[in-house]
Amino acid sequence: MNTTKIAVLALAAAAVGTAAVATTASATTASATTVSATTASAAPRAAVPKADALASHGPGSHGSAPQGPSAPYRAGAARVVGKAEVRRTYQRDDDVRAFTIDAHAAPYTRPLPGADGGRDLPGAPNDATGTVTVSHSTVDKGRRVTFTARATVDSLITAPGYASVTAVVTWTSPGGPPWVGRRLGLSVYDAGKDAPGRSRDRLGYSWEFANLSRADDGNWTDETPVGTAMAPAPFAPVTRGGFTVTHADLPLLPGS
């Protein structure tokens, strides 16, 4: 796998080594998102309280990312909301990797023709709706360049304090990898209420090293498709912001 390729595709994670998978929201090579590059002068950032984190790093700060309607929320349903920046424990850099998640359970709303031994199903208990935005900001020759992708949520599974979310990329800012149509997997650990400016939350994502597989030619590839609800453990500590997970058990099939 080409290291340079991964670096360019670091939408939500900068390049890792020769065997790094970038099925990324910020760094990948699969079916996908065109990530746009926006330049702005780099400046040091002070720590901010959880509620205010990422106010200047979401897609709106670029003035170009489309803002779709927020997902409807049914009282008592599973939900994950929040914004956060994370750091990679396995590689040090000054890049900013930011994630915004607004995912809401919508069980049995995505029909599955022939999924049950040829029998059609109305959907799955983990069906969901909402949006995910991933951005990767890096400094190039003294200028900050930001790549952003937006994805539509299709699956959500929760446990108390934990959640796995998958979303299919529908838009990317100009200049990035061809990522539209790619499914991304995200995991969240909600550690509860923290002191202002601090967070014990964590997030995981399904690119770089997390979704490698061996191709028919024997080489490792980062283009392995991600299935619904599939995401690694939340390995990346949150440095700014945070997430809130509302847990609800998966419901029975209607009429069962």
User: Residue 72 — very low, low, confident or very high, per pLDDT cuts 50/70/90?
Assistant: low
The percentage of residues in the chain with a pLDDT greater than 70, rounded to a whole number, is: 70
Q: Which residue has the higher pLDDT, 125 or 26?
A: 125
Average pLDDT, integer, range 188-210: 91
56 φψ region: left (φ > 0), alpha (ψ -120 to 50), beta (else): alpha
* Res 147 pLDDT > 70: yes
Structural contact between residues 142 and 40, judged by C-beta atoms closer than 8 angstroms: no
* Res 97 pLDDT > 80: yes
pTM: 0.71
E strand or H helix at 153, and its extent? strand 143-159
E strand or H helix at 3, and its extent? helix 3-8
Token pair, residue 70, equals 């927020």
Average pLDDT, integer, range 112-116: 89
Structural contact between residues 207 and 23, judged by C-beta atoms closer than 8 angstroms: yes
The Cα–Cα gap between 248 and 238 comes to: 24
